[in-house]
Amino acid sequence: MAQHTHEMEVRVRYQETDGQRRVHHANYLTYFEMARTEMLRSRGTTYRAFEEAGLLMVVAEVSCKYRAAAEYDDLLVIRTWVEKIGGASIEHGYEVIRGTTILATGSTTVVCVDPEGKVRRLPEWLLT
């Protein structure tokens, strides 16, 4: 997979917020997952195609550092990039941005497995 940066926009929905109208911390992980999926789509394939090939990507590690709060109705940009590709894993980096302010940064490591949970090498078509 050639390294590039992908950006997607998301508007904060009311149900994503807590009692103070701020985005609940767990929703940042959902934003990361949405961004990974859309990054894959921007490269001309889908996660569905990955599953149809008999493979799954499972999250093995995740981190998120919160810098400032996103709030209801904010328009956010989720910036995603590939940090590292291993034989069976991909590490992504993320920034959650409102305007020019970085609200959160994070990373995930996803691992390729078969339906039985055995680790498998990443397919060649994903790496090109």
Q: Is 18 an active-site residue? A: yes
| Residue-wise burial string across 99-110, b where 16 or more C-beta atoms lie within 10 A, e elsewhere | eeeebbbbbbbb
Please write the tens of the pLDDT for every residue from 107-122: 999 999 999 999 999 9
- Tell me the longest C-alpha to C-alpha distance in the chain: 46
CA distances from 97 to 29, 84, 114, 128 (A): 14, 22, 34, 29
Catalytic residue among 18, 73, 74, 114: 18
Domains and CATH numbers, the chain: 5-127 (3.10.129.10)
Please write the tens of the pLDDT for every residue from 69-114: 999 999 999 999 999 999 999 999 999 999 999 999 999 999 999 9
